[in-house]
Amino acid sequence: MLARLLRQMPPTARAARAAMGVRRLAAMPLHPQKKFASKYFDVEEVMFADQPEQIVRGGRTLFPKLPAALEGVKQIGVIGWGSQGPAQAQNFRESLEGSDIKVKVGLREGSSSMKAARACGFTEEKGTLGEMYKVISESDMVLLLISDAACVEEYKNVFKALKPRTTLGLSHGFLLGHLESVHEQFPADVDVVLCAPKGMGPSVRRLYEQGREVNGSGINASFAVHQDVTGRATERALAWAVGVGSPYIFQTTLNAEWRSDIFGERCILLGGVHGMIESLFRYYESHGMAAHEAFKTSGEVITGPITRTISHDGIKAVHDNLSPADRQIFKTAYCASYTPSRSIIEECYDSVSSGNEIRDVVMAAKRFDKYPMGCIDNTRTWKVGAEVRKAGGTPEQRKAVPVNPLTAGVYCAMMMVCAQADGAPSCGGGAPRVRRLGVHRRPRTRGRTSPPHRAGPDRLPVRPRPRLLRDRQRERDRVRRLAQPVHARARRLIHG
């Protein structure tokens, strides 16, 4: 990836403005979420940038309100024991202590996870552990927390087992994406809601436990109501989020959740950062840097001081904290990386928004038995990384390295394509003015509007017009012709 980045320079201001026209990341149609209300939880309105949003503050003081908010629910079935299942089942059970609402775990007959569930206090003797379809059929609220691949395999049987007017809960919208791709829908006689904690299951459990002593500890969550048959879907979704320990709860939609989640995973959380560290490591090593130093300068800098700075002070602080000389290096790397990063990310966006990514995942899951996943850390980069981490002391000591401005520039450029923030360094007009995603009108490209959206409030554009594809390719070719000197400039950045 870095080789591709370093082969390209940002376009001129005029070309950058034209390139903005093909940016479908900002092309999501504006469909303001409906305001929601609750009888049991206080709803506040806060401003994010220039947009009002509603939130609910969670907390243990709200636990006594859960039985009323869950009126009509006698049993909550938690299906699955993967990442989220153990955490949400235990948290919800503890939050409902003293009420007559039972939390029961449902697993496949003979599942190896039965033993782990029993160790956490869910047993057949207590009536809190059973076969998954039996649990589904007897529960008033079903939290379907099995893997995406299992959802695709089992959803038809799950739908058949649901009682009418049950509330079906999801923590990921992948199933909706699959249903759309095969032109199917959720059963019409059940509620469909979402509670999506913004962290892995172990963190959801650990911070819930920490919240017993430290007020406010927990993992924030988004919630959504996709279908409301009972008229109580919003209250149940909010109660679910409060019950698993979320300190702040905000609204989304199931469509937006699965698209943004999968897109973010492919571009940032998983594919983007992994590929960037691989590429930076190889680049530094190929230009004479020792292997251990190359990994520290790439992987340890990104996961250490850069991540810490962004978390505490924002992405602009990464640039502002550098010396004047290093800021120039940062700017050069940032500007060399921004446009090609945008190209790669738009490609990922197209794959997700069209449904191709979900279809690929489903097909890959069907091949797992025959072709199991390989180990992603078997490359030289991660083998060297293991040596660095073994020899480097504690994580805090290991990541106490200075910020390399070239690494910072490349990393921040990719982050800025998706998460835009005011004050990005200018690339001679090449960097777009930063805006909050989804809150501005679609720009025009060469006098023509972006492709029309398909029907539906949450649909994203599926495919650009052929003319738009040609324009994008011509722009990339032009950028490459302008970028010939960049290898020499990059070598000077490394070797001084």
Catalytic sites, residue numbers:
172
Burial pattern 455-467, b for ≥16 Cβ within 10 A else e, equals: eeebbbbeebeee
Token pair of 67, please?
């039985």
Pairing relationship of beta strands 221-227 and 43-48 according to DSSP bridges: unpaired
CA dihedral 359, 361, 366, 371 (to 10 degrees): 130
Other Cβ atoms less than 10 A from the Cβ of 23: the count is 18
- C-alpha span between 166 and 159 (Å, rounded): 10
- Count Cβ atoms within 10 A of the Cβ of residue 75 and give its class: 0-12 exposed, 13-18 middle, 19 or more buried: middle
- C-alpha span between 335 and 324 (Å, rounded): 17
At residue 195, the 3 state secondary structure works out as: strand
Cα–Cα distances (Å) from 451 to 21, 235, 344, 465, in that order, read 11, 38, 19, 7
DSSP one-letter string for 307-342: HHHHHHH-THHHHHTS-HHHHHHHHHHHHHHHHHHH
Burial pattern 241-272, b for ≥16 Cβ within 10 A else e, equals: bbbbbbbbbbbbbbbbbbbbbbbbebbbeeeb
**145 φ, ψ (degrees, to nearest 5):** -115, 25
Residues 6+ apart with CB under 8 A from 185: 179
Other Cβ atoms less than 10 A from the Cβ of 485: the count is 9
Q: Residue 261 corresponds to which amino acid?
A: D
Residues 6+ apart with CB under 8 A from 441: none
List helix spans (H) across 24-78. Answer: 66-69
- C-alpha span between 226 and 176 (Å, rounded): 10
Other Cβ atoms less than 10 A from the Cβ of 329: the count is 20
